[in-house]
Amino acid sequence: MRVLFCGDVVGRAGRTVIKENLPRLRDRLELDFVLANGENAAHGFGITPKICQEFYAAGVDVITTGNHVWDRREIIDYIDGDARLLRPMNYAQGTPGRGVGVFDAPGGRRVLVLHPMGRLYMDPVDDPFGAVEAALGRHRLGETVHCILVDVHAETTSEKAAMGQFLDGRVSMVTGTHTHVPTADTRILPGGTAYQTDLGMCGDYDSVIGMKKEAAIGRFLDDDTAGRLEPATGEATLCAVFLETDDKTGLTRRVAPLRTGGHLTETWPE
């Protein structure tokens, strides 16, 4: 199976780079399944039902989110009716939506997506490791599902790395989101699970993690006149990870970063 996971989509620039590039990427890479993290898609904060539909029309199969999932109030009433939009799985019981989903892929294959959120320097949530363990008690890679993809939305690299090692050999890929900077540690762990600490963002890198520079810098300078944070609007870079799995075992055959457009160096899977 061939999968592409696109990092945090930030504002209009991020949405544009997804819509302009994803259809050709699906063809060029012969993709079977595409994920994107959309929690910053609506002017940098949250996501709307309309944006979800735009992503699906562009070729995204599943949208993950994170701590900004509730920033647009209209998503609260919407999320229960959209099985392809996931919120973090370790929110308290009774929270709207779902953080786990099994989705169909070409050839009768089934993809399990797990979306834990970290606890270090993040909103209060339940244990992400326990939540993932419970979900894996209901599904087994290479048996009940053909591929298992994990988006661990977390602030610290250590918590993401720990999740990767914890799940090695039991899932197809563990990738981190939230910090918006692509890390250079893309690799296959000893047990056969693909890993990258952070995917980076789909957004304008002539910015401070996707936000206009002046206001972001002003906040660090305690400048009360700096204004509110708004997404940068220049040409965006699409940051993602490409994954190819073995259909029998569900483990990784190949993993590579993909970056195109904008200010970062172009990088393609070989």
Q: Which residues are catalytic?
A: 68
Residue 33 CA, distance from chain mean position: 13
3-state SS, residue 163? helix
Q: Which of 93, 91, 110 is nearest to 102 (CA)?
A: 110
CA dihedral sign, ordered 68, 259, 109, 154: negative
Provide the b/e sequence for 212-230 (b: ≥16 CB within 10 Å). beebbeeeeeeeeebeebb
**Which whole-number Å values give the CA distances from 236 to 5, 14, 42, 210, in the listed order?**
16, 6, 15, 9
DSSP 8-state assignment for residue 20 = H
* Residues 8/13/16/18 CA torsion (nearest 10 deg): -20
Torsion angles phi and psi, residue 36, rounded to 5: -145, 145
256 Cβ neighbours under 8 A, 6+ residues apart:
186, 241, 242, 267, 268, 269, 270
Say which residue the tokens 């099985």 belong to: 83
What single-letter amino acid sits at 200?
Answer: G
Which helix (H) or strand (E) segment holds residue 253: the answer is: strand 252-260
